[in-house]
Chain A
C-alpha cells in the first residue's frame, strides 16, 4: 500500500506543497516515537513519581481513635472520647505538630497529663476505621477491634499516621532551619567555586590560545585529567594534604579543611576541565581582524583585552559559569567526603533517604535542588544558542605572536595549575600505597585488597567496566540514531520539537534526583518494568539517560555538517534510508560517534550521584565503592579504587585516540584534498 492511499484523498489535496511521505518516513517517525517512549519511561515518568512523592504526607489523625478511661476501681463510668476531643479540651498537641513522616509515632500518654504507670486506672482503646493503626511496643494492631490496657502497658501504646496529599512536607522543610540553611550553603559554595574556577580556567585557556608558550599539548592533557576521576577523589586528596595529619596543614592557618574550604577547592579541581574547554572554544573562534583593527587604532593591550577579548568570549564565559555552577550545586560525592558539618542540598537528600528513611522529605529536597539546576540550565541554553551566531564565515583565525615575557608568565601560570592537578592525583596514588598512614609509611599493596573492605571489592571494579562498556555501546546507538531521526525526518515538526525537548531535559536533572526518582518509579510492584530494579539494566538505563543531552548535542552537531542533499539523492536512487545511514551517515560521523562513546564510558566509570540509590549486591560499582570505603573510614583503599578508575579511563582514552586515528584514516580521507 502506498503512503498516499494511507493518507486519503483529502490530505493529499491539502498538503500539496508538502513532500510526499514514503515508507522510509513512516519507519523513521515510528522509530522516533519508540525512542521518545524510551525517554518518557526513563525520565519523565520517574520524575513524575518523585514529584508526587514530595506531596505525599503523613499525619496523625486524632479522630481515628477513641479512648475510654476507667476509674481506680476499674469501672468505666466515663464516656469514651476521641483523641480529637481530648486534644480540643487540653490542647496537648499543636495542629502543626500533627504533620509527621511516614515513620512517625505519637504516644497516647501525651493526651493524659495526670498519667502514671503505677496507677490502677485502665484504658480502653478502639480504632474507629479500618485504617487506624497503633503499636503496643513493637507489635502492630490495625482496625476497629477494641483493646484494654493497664497503665503500665498503656504507656507503650503509640499511634501511627495516615497517608494523604498536600504541601505539609514543604511546610516542614521551610520551618526546619537545619534543612533550609542548606539552600544558602549550596548557592554560596556554587557561586564561590564558579568565580574561582572560571577565572582560573580563563587564564589557562587564554595562555593555551593566545601565547606561544611551549608544552601546550601537555598542559591541555593535564588540564583534562580531572574529568577522568570521580568528583569525590579530590576530597580524599585534600584530607591527606590538609587534614589534621596532612603535610600541608599549616597552610590553612588553623582553618579546617572539612567544610566550605575543602568543598570549594575540590569543586574547583573537578569542574576546571569543563570550564576550560568551553572557554577555550570561545577564545579560539574569536576574529583576528578585530585585533588588527585594535592595533591600527592604537588601543592599549589592556583596552583591547576588555573591549575585544572579553566581549568575544563572553558567551563562553557565561556558559562556563553556569555549567560549573550546576556541577557544583548538584554534586554529592565531594561535600559528603569533605563537607564535615557543612550541609549541602545533595547530601541532605542522601541523609534524608539513607539516614532517616524519610523518602518524602528526600523528594522535597530534590524538588528544591531542581530549581537552581533548572535556572542554570535554561540560561546556559539561551547563551549557547547565541554563541553559534557569533562566528561569521569571514572570520580570520587569530594567530598568536611570540613574546618572551608574556609566554614565560603564561608558562609559569599553567605550570602552577598543572602542579595543583598533578599533586591532587599524585597524593591519592601515594596514599593508596602507604601501609598505615601516618604511622607506617612503608609502601605496599595492602590497600588494594578491596575484597576485605566495604563497597563490593574487585567485583565492583569489574561491574563498573561492564557498566561503562554497555553504557558506551547501547547509549551511543540510542542517542546517535535518535539524533539522526530528529535531524533527518522530513516534516513532523511537532514530534521533532517534542523529542528535542525530551532529549535536552536530562541535563537539567541532578543525578541524585534522577536516582531517587528511579527508586520511586521502578521499585513499585505495580510497574511492569519492576523486574529491572536491582539489575545492571537499570544502571545502564539510568546512566544513559543521565548523560543523554551532551551526547545528543554532539551527534546533532555532527549530523548538521552533512549536506542535506544526500537524502534526496539516495531517494532518487531508490535507496532505503538505512542503507544511506550505514554507508554514508555513520562513517562520516564516526569521529563524533567515537567521542560520544568515550564520553559515556568515562562518565559511567566516575558517576556516583545517580547510581548510589540503585546498585545492588550483584551490581556494586567502583565509584560507589570509593564513597562507601571512605564512609567506613577506609580512606586509603578509597583512594586506591579512585586511582583504578583514573587509570582505566586513561587507558580508555588512549584506545579512543588510537581508534580515532585509524578510523579517521579510513573514513575521513575525503576531508583532505
Chain B
C-alpha cells in the first residue's frame, strides 16, 4: 500500500511540474475583464488571422484583475491586458507597468479612445455605459413609475427598491460615483448620493449583478450598465433599460502591453490586431460605442439615445481622485450602523 501511495505522490508531482511549464513562445497570457461569454469569440476571431498564437485568458471582474496586476507589479505574469477599464489602466500606467507601443493602424481610431502619451501606452476598444434596469413586472406590482432621471431615484417611493454596485469593489460602481461628481459637482454630487443612499436596499460587489437581480425580479431597480441590460432583456427578462436624462457615466475597455513581457513580438501582434476594423466590429456585438469610427451598428435592445447622453468623462480626474472618492464614500455609506454621513 505504501508503494501505491508513493506512486501516487510521484504522479502528483509530475502533474505539478507539467502545469508549471506554462510560459512558452506562441502563447500569450492575457488578463481581461471582458464578459466570460464573449471570450471564446474574441480568441477565435484573433486566431482566424493568427492561428500560431494561443491566448490563455485570465478573466475576472475589473477590480480583481487590477488587484492581480498590481500585486504582480514586480513580477508580471501577464503579457497583454485586453479589455480592462481605462481607469484601471491609468492606475497601472502611473506605476510604470505598461509598455508604450503604438499599434499599427492606431491612427484610424477616434483620438478620444487613445492614450495621450506618445507613443501611447493603451488604446481603447469600446465604451461601456451606465444605465438603470427597471423591472416592469415587479415595478407594476409595487405601483412604481419608471424613473426618468438620476434625481428621480432619490424620491421616497423608491425606498428600499434600488440596488447599485459598491464602488469600492466594482468598476461600474465607481464610474457611477465619479460621473455624478463630475455632472453635479462635488457638493451636489455627495448630496445626491446621500439621498440615493436612503433608498438603496444593498450595494452589490459586482457591476452586472444589479441588472441581473432586476431581471430576476429580486429588486425592481438596478443601477448597472446598458450592455448587461440588453443581454438580460434579450434573454427574456421583463426589464426596461433607462438612460437617465442628466447624462450617464461611462468607462472604456482598453488594451495595453505589460512592460517586461518575455513575448513582446506576439504581444505586439495582438495589440495590432485589437485596433483593426475587424476587431472593432467584434466589439460592436456587445457595445454600442466602439473606438473605430463608422463601425458601430445599433445593438439590439440598446437604448437609442445612449450616445448623446454619455458625459464628457475626465479619466484622469477619476484616476487621480479615486482613493479620495472611495475613502469619502466608505466613510459616508459603507457601514450599516451609520447610514448617514
Contacts and interface: CB of A to CB of B under 8 A. Distances in A.
Given A103-B322, A633-B204, 7 more contacts: A105-B324, A354-B61, A474-B13, A525-B75, A531-B20, A533-B77, A633-B216
A455 B63 CA distance: 15
Interface in B152-176: 166, 168-170
15 contacts: A135-B94, A140-B93, A176-B330, A178-B331, A181-B335, A259-B336, A340-B201, A440-B236, A452-B37, A476-B5, A477-B6, A477-B8, A477-B9, A524-B75, A632-B212
A473 B12 contact: yes
A158 B71 contact: no
Interface in B6-55: 6, 8-9, 11-13, 15-16, 19-20, 22, 29, 35-37, 40
B264 interface: no
Contact of B170 (A239, A256, A355, A454): A355
Interface stretch (A35-43, A293-301, A419-427, A534-542): A534-542
A140 B117 CA distance: 11
B294 to A, nearest CB: 28
A633 B206 contact: yes
Contact of A258 (B13, B67, B202): B202
Query: What are the 4 tightest A-B residue pairs by CB atom distance, in nearest-first order?
Result: A633-B212, A355-B169, A633-B209, A525-B75
B323 to A, nearest CB: 5
A105 B12 contact: no
B85 to A, nearest CB: 13
Contacts of A477: 5-6, 8-9
Interface string A452-492: 11110100000000100010011011000000000000000
B12 A540 contact: yes
Nearest to A440: B236
Interface in A257-297: 258-259
Contacts of B6: 477
Interface string B49-73: 0000000111111011011001110
B161 to A, nearest CB: 9
A631 B58 contact: no
Please tell me the size bucket of the interface on B. 35 or more
Nearest to A473: B8
A177 B61 contact: no
B165 to A, nearest CB: 10
Contacts of B37: 452-453
A74 interface: no
B177 to A, nearest CB: 13
Nearest to B171: A355
A538 B209 CA distance: 31
Contacts of A176: 330-331
A618 B337 CA distance: 41
Interface string B205-244: 1101111110111110000000000000001111000000
A28 to B, nearest CB: 15
A633 B61 CA distance: 12
A613 B169 CA distance: 15
Contact of A138 (B15, B90, B218): B90
Interface residues of A, number: 82
B197 to A, nearest CB: 10
B144 interface: no
B323 A100 contact: yes
Contacts of A616: 58, 77
B74 interface: yes
A398 interface: no
B20 A535 contact: yes
Contacts of B170: 355
Contacts of A258: 201-202
A178 B138 CA distance: 32
Nearest to B117: A139
Contacts of A632: 36, 61, 206, 208-209, 212
A256 B202 CA distance: 10
Nearest to B174: A355
Contact of B323 (A101, A524, A633): A101
Contacts of A140: 93-96
A537 B16 contact: yes
B38 to A, nearest CB: 10
B96 to A, nearest CB: 6
A156 B314 CA distance: 11
Interface string B304-341: 00000000000110011111101000110011111000
Given A107-B320, A258-B202, A454-B59, A535 B16 contact: yes
B191 interface: no
Given A523-B72, A632-B209, A135 B320 contact: yes
Contact of B59 (A104, A137, A586, A617): A617
Contact of B3 (A524, A582, A587): A582
A116 interface: no
Contact of B67 (A353, A525, A537, A586): A353
B336 A343 contact: yes
Contacts of B67: 353-355, 357
A531 B19 CA distance: 11
Given A178-B334, A436-B235, A590-B1, A104 B323 contact: yes
Contact of B316 (A138, A259, A453, A466): A138
A138 B94 contact: yes
Contact of B70 (A178, A357, A440, A535): A357
B64 A354 contact: yes
Interface in A359-376: 359
Given A137-B316, A177-B338, A355-B63, A245 B216 contact: yes
Given A534-B77, A631-B61, A633-B213, A103 B91 contact: yes
